[in-house]
Amino acid sequence: MNIKHSEAESYIRKCAKKVGLTFKKTNTRLTGAYLWKLADRKTGEIVLSNYQFWSAYNDSCSGYIESYDGRQFYIDAYNTNNFQGK
C-alpha cells in the first residue's frame, strides 16, 4: 500500500493534536530531507526534535505519539500499567 506524503502528514498532525502537540517542519535537513519536531500546542515547548518524517508516521500508526501524557511518551502505550509478568 502506498500513501501520499500529504495524507501521512495530515494523519500525524491529527494524532499530535489529540494530545495537545503540533507537528512542524524545521529548517534542519538530514541527507536532503527536512527534519520535523513535535511541540506543545499551548507553550510552544519542543517535546521532540530532529524527527524524520516517516519515523513520525510510523510512531503515529503505532500509537506512540498519542501515548504522550503532557510529560513523557510511553513505549508501550497500551500495556504500561497492565503488565502481569506472564
- Name the more confident of 52 and 81: 52
Residue 76 confidence (pLDDT) above 80: no
Residue 82 confidence (pLDDT) above 50: no
Ramachandran region, residue 73 (left: φ > 0; alpha: ψ -120 to 50; beta: rest): beta
Q: Give the confidence band of 73 by pLDDT, cuts at 50, 70, 90.
A: confident
Residue 80 confidence (pLDDT) above 70: no
What is the value of pTM for the model shown?
A: 0.81
Give Cα 2 distance to the centre of its chain. Answer: 20
3-class secondary structure per residue, 46-74:
EEEEEEEHHHHHHHHHHCCHHHCCCCCCC
Mean pLDDT of the chain: 86
Residue 85 confidence (pLDDT) above 50: no
Question: How far is the C-alpha of 20 from the C-alpha of 69, rounded, in Å?
Answer: 9
